[in-house]
Amino acid sequence: MTTRTDRIPPAPRPRLSLGLVGTVRSRLGAAPRDDLADPASLETWLAAQGLATGPAPDEVDVREFRSLREAAYRLLEAVTGGGPPRPADLKLVNRHATAPAPAVELADTPGAGLVLRTGRPTPEQALGVIARDLADLLTGARRDRLRQCGAEVCGTFFLDGSRAGTRRWCSSGTCGNRVRVAQHRAG
Ligand SMILES: [Zn+2]
């Protein structure tokens, strides 16, 4: 455990496990793009999630994060109507979910009073944080709001926060627009 600390961000973040699944772009298209292609891109992604690790991720970690991502994708498919979950995927998620949580420290700071600081997680602990988020997502109160994006090549999953529960695209600014343009051209 390193001694470097970062403030816990006050605002709720998007679900980490859905973010991980979304690191494959155009998953169902002819040329999917992987945002976690190497240790440097994994490091960048982790930092953007508030999960910068110590030590920095290596090639083995890249494989571990990608394995968890693919298990998450298949489990999301399963719970949204794609059949029973694969035991191997459950085993993988459960293995990561047992990783200890990143250390936290209550500190008295001049001006701000008591703050909660979190130590940098190891890559294994970061996998644990994401695996536990996934387990919670797949079994939580909003699991019936999980959707696969309706855009042809996208394939990612999102939580439908619309009142009517009729959202079809992961991001109406990108996938939704693309679909509307394609429909307009076809019509
Ligand atoms: Zn999409």
Q: Per residue in 73-114, pLDDT tens?
A: 999 999 999 899 999 999 999 999 999 999 999 999 999 899
pLDDT band at residue 2, thresholds of 50, 70 and 90? very low
Crossing angle between the packed helical segments 123-139 and 87-97, to the nearest 10 degrees: 120
Centre of ligand 1 from the C-alpha of residue 160, in Å: 12
Centre of ligand 1 from the C-alpha of residue 150, in Å: 7
Centre of ligand 1 from the C-alpha of residue 126, in Å: 25
Dist CA 156 CA 161 (whole Å): 16
Centre of ligand 1 from the C-alpha of residue 48, in Å: 20
Dist CA 45 CA 35 (whole Å): 8
Centre of ligand 1 from the C-alpha of residue 108, in Å: 44
* Least confident interval from 10-19, 116-125, 154-163: 10-19
Q: What is the mean pLDDT of residues 14-18?
A: 92
> What is the DSSP track for 132-156?
HHHHHHHHSTTGGGEEE--STTT--
Dist CA 60 CA 110 (whole Å): 41
For residue 12, what pLDDT is reported? 45
Centre of ligand 1 from the C-alpha of residue 149, in Å: 5
pLDDT band at residue 187, thresholds of 50, 70 and 90? low
Contact 180, 152 (CB under 8 A): no
Centre of ligand 1 from the C-alpha of residue 155, in Å: 6
Token pair of 180 as six digits: 């509307």
Centre of ligand 1 from the C-alpha of residue 10, in Å: 27
Centre of ligand 1 from the C-alpha of residue 22, in Å: 9
Centre of ligand 1 from the C-alpha of residue 186, in Å: 20
Mean pLDDT across the chain, nearest whole number? 90
Residue 178: its H or E element: helix 177-186
How many C-beta atoms lie closer than 10 Å to residue 42's C-beta? Answer: 25
Centre of ligand 1 from the C-alpha of residue 39, in Å: 25
Token pair of 162 as six digits: 């619309």
pLDDT band at residue 3, thresholds of 50, 70 and 90? very low
* Least confident interval from 20-29, 36-45, 138-147, 164-173: 164-173
How many C-beta atoms lie closer than 10 Å to residue 54's C-beta? Answer: 14
Q: Which residue, 62, 54, 14, is CA-closest to 35?
A: 62
Q: What is the mean pLDDT of residues 116-130?
A: 95
Q: pTM of the predicted model, to two decimals?
A: 0.85
- Whether 181 shows a pLDDT value over 80: the answer reads no
Q: What is the mean pLDDT of residues 7-31?
A: 81
- Whether 15 shows a pLDDT value over 60: the answer reads yes
